[in-house]
Amino acid sequence: MDSQVTRKTRKKLSRVLASLILAELFAFSFLIYLIIIGPPTQRLEMYVVSEPIVGFSPYVVEYELPIPNSGPMGIAVDDEGVVWIAATNVTSLISFNPVENVFRRYKIPMNQTRTIIWMIDIDSNGRLWFPSTSDNSVWSFEPRSGEFSRYELPSRNAFPLQLDIDESGRVWVAEMSSGKIAVIEPESGLIREYALPKPDEGELTPAPVSIVVDMDGVVWVSERAFGRLFKFYPDEERFEEVQLPEAIFTPVSLGIAPDGSLWFTDFGELMGSVFIQFDPSSGQLKRFSTSLKNGNPSLPLSLYIDNVGNVWILEQAGNRIAKFSPRLNTLLEYELPRGRITSSLNTIQFIVAQDRRVWFTEYSENKIGFIDTLKTIPFSVSLSQNYVKTKPGSVVKVDVFIIGKLKTPVSFMISGTLSPLGRIINATTSFSPSVIIEKYTQITTLTITLHDSIKPGNYTLTVGASDGQIISSAILYLEVENQS
């Protein structure tokens, strides 16, 4: 009994610590710069920019923002291809027209000089919506008229971080510090709040961090203080906790795929590399891992699902943006420019536009950029088998194929869900050869030696190759049976 209590206490403390780390992450993103820029006297300013910045990789193009130390964070792209950026250090929205090469600045009429605007969403009428932490509000912006509207949340210090817009135009908000979600009726201005159920253990307030509305109008909420997932039924004003088959620790960002499956990132107990698929109809949960960064966790943060079901993930510690294809079971990761202050925490948010460009903000560099995903990738990875059933103590060999014309040598890497960190534990892996230099299709052999200590269960391994600019990987499903 004492050991069970100790494990429960350790697990609770781990989640609390993970929550503190997440809070520090948001705070650090907000406090990198100490220079405060005073508000301009005019609401609208226009800037013509110089040529874009190229050269980091063939896939990445960057633009420096014309306002110094503006703190770009949330980002969205409208139907006209205009990019909208939340400039949090100067409490402004900035638009960028890539065709005209012009930035426009719209000063948000708030008293605060800085805020956190973690994201921007756009409704069916073209209005921009964004949460603002410093004035405890949600704002809307009408681009045609240039008018802002403010919706102050009823709970004090609610810390609104993420929002989603349902089919009827209602805006749903996750209030990370109040333990509530809110819904805003844009036409009437009416705001209602609903408190998440507290768990049986302790008095710690729930911390809803992400919110998304599915095609049936059900509101999904991830809660990081206790690692829980909820459904909220608006017509019944009722929460239902989703009973997951496996424990999650710190779910951060939610997304719903066209097939109805729910995807989310998980920080793990401290830091992790895992993102998760949950099938509401079957209750099945699958875990996947990004590639590691120099052997360390990648810290998947923001998540976006495009209209064909690809799952896009920002790896904040890995300093990459990844595309996972559930249909092909492949992962493609693009390296991003490093920040001057820290190589991670530079890229804060991203969005996939209709033209397949992936736009992102660079907070510490005062830039935005995009990944040109239409550019041809020089190679891809495939496996001789994608599913292996085996037992502890066994040895598995899988051929890994590099398909394409290599321009530079590629090196091999492996990560997996054997641990939340993405590291390979209770097993030993090796590639032979570990590097390929030749230009055309080549083969290496992956050897996996399972230790007797490995627990029976279902795992996924991410087997990839890197040329320093991209990582192309294929997923290997590993089922470990009980030792008979």
* Integer Cα distance of 439 and 260 in angstroms: 41
Q: Quick one: how far is CA 460 from the chain centroid?
A: 20
Q: Quick one: how far is CA 47 from the chain centroid?
A: 31
For 379-431, how does the pLDDT look when each residue is reduced to its tens digit (9 = 90+)? 999 999 999 999 999 999 999 999 998 889 999 999 999 998 999 999 999 99
Q: Which of 193 and 248 is assigned the larger pLDDT?
A: 193
pLDDT at residue 477 tops 50:
yes
* Integer Cα distance of 457 and 114 in angstroms: 48
Q: How confident is the model at residue 193 (pLDDT cuts 50, 70, 90)?
A: very high
* Integer Cα distance of 305 and 176 in angstroms: 23
Q: How far apart are the first and last CA of the chain?
A: 30
Report CA dihedral (122, 128, 130, 134) to the nearest 10 degrees: 170
Q: Which helix (H) or strand (E) holds 272?
A: none
Q: Which amino acid is at 112?
A: Q
* Integer Cα distance of 241 and 206 in angstroms: 13
Rounded mean pLDDT of 272-282?
93
Of 44-58, 113-127, 176-190, 212-226, least confident by mean pLDDT is: 44-58
What 3-state class would DSSP assign to 256? strand
* Integer Cα distance of 367 and 60 in angstroms: 12
DSSP assignment of 416-432 equals ETTSTTS---SEEEEEE
Q: Which amino acid is at 345?
A: L
Q: How confident is the model at residue 49 (pLDDT cuts 50, 70, 90)?
A: confident
For position 244, what pLDDT does the model report? 82
For the chain, the structural domain boundaries read: 379-480
For position 227, what pLDDT does the model report? 87
Backbone angles phi and psi of 15, in degrees to 5: -70, -40
Could you tell me if 297 and 273 are in contact, meaning their C-beta atoms sit under 8 angstroms apart?
Answer: yes
For position 245, what pLDDT does the model report? 75
- Output the CA–CA distances (angstroms, integers) from residue 237 to 132, 138, 173, 191, 445, in the order listed: 25, 21, 15, 14, 55
* Integer Cα distance of 275 and 421 in angstroms: 11
Exposure on the CB side of residue 262, measured as CA atoms within 13 A: 30
* Integer Cα distance of 287 and 291 in angstroms: 13
* Integer Cα distance of 57 and 335 in angstroms: 8
* Integer Cα distance of 26 and 119 in angstroms: 12
Rounded mean pLDDT of 428-456?
91
Rounded mean pLDDT of 462-472?
97
For 278-328, how does the pLDDT look when each residue is reduced to its tens digit (9 = 90+)? 999 998 999 999 999 999 999 999 999 999 999 999 999 999 999 999 999
* Integer Cα distance of 386 and 396 in angstroms: 12
Q: Which helix (H) or strand (E) holds 442?
A: strand 442-450
DSSP assignment of 341-353 equals S-SSSSEEEEEE-
Q: Which of 193 and 53 is assigned the larger pLDDT?
A: 193
* Integer Cα distance of 166 and 6 in angstroms: 43
Task: Identify which of 308, 296, 304, 297 has the alpha carbon closest to the alpha carbon of residue 264.
Answer: 304
* Integer Cα distance of 209 and 222 in angstroms: 6
Cα angle for residues 75, 142, 84 (degrees, 5° grid): 15
Q: How confident is the model at residue 466 (pLDDT cuts 50, 70, 90)?
A: very high
Task: Identify which of 123, 118, 158, 152 has the alpha carbon closest to the alpha carbon of residue 138.
Answer: 152
Backbone angles phi and psi of 2, in degrees to 5: -60, -40
* Integer Cα distance of 157 and 137 in angstroms: 10
Tokens at residue 439, please? Answer: 């230009």
Second-level CATH architecture of 379-480: Sandwich (2.60)
Q: Which helix (H) or strand (E) holds 27?
A: helix 2-31
Could you tell me if 260 and 231 are in contact, meaning their C-beta atoms sit under 8 angstroms apart?
Answer: no
| Adjacent-strand bridge partners of 77 | 83
Residue tagged 């052999």 (tokens): 445
- Output the CA–CA distances (angstroms, integers) from residue 173 to 39, 199, 300, in the order listed: 27, 21, 22
| Adjacent-strand bridge partners of 222 | 210, 229
Could you tell me if 349 and 336 are in contact, meaning their C-beta atoms sit under 8 angstroms apart?
Answer: no
